[in-house]
Amino acid sequence: LIAVALSAGGSNAVAQDKAAPVVLTPITMKVLSPPRILPGSDGRQHVVYELRVGNATPLDVELTAVQVLAAGKGRIVGRLDTAGVAARLAVGANRGQMRAKLGAAQYGILFLHVSFPDLASVPARLTHRVRVVFAPRPKGMTMTGGATAVSRTPPPVLGAPLRGKNY
């Protein structure tokens, strides 16, 4: 029974590898929870979410640019330069440690916010293009990752906390 389960799992793993090749990158990216669309008081649709960025190398790295892309179309829907990343990247998920650099084997949470003029213009999926420079090497590299679906579930609507007279 165990041998059958292992052989079935092994052939399934091979089929998955052929469908989605594994790409090794020095920077890992993962969206922590599917982004949700939130209507703003400005009439725009806002997508706010967190991207976990990890440095899988023994070198220090600086994130010099981040682009949010409409997956499959490659259209840039949001961007941050080094200063923008420094204001939104919480090293070790510590909001008191905001900067654009990650040390060796360190991770951070990048807080992202992209807005759209209307619901129809919000892409079904997002991905991210990150430009990094590894110290002490001046030449950088660009990686794409952190693909995610955008949730179309409407946000909960909260009513007044109290009912009755005199509230």
Which of 55, 64, 75, 85 has the alpha carbon at shortest distance from 126? 75
| 78-132 pLDDT tens trace | 999 999 999 999 999 898 889 999 999 999 999 999 999 999 999 999 999 999 9
Rounded CA-CA distance 77/69 in Å is 6
Higher pLDDT, 117 or 135: 117
- pTM value > 0.85: no
Rounded CA-CA distance 26/11 in Å is 28
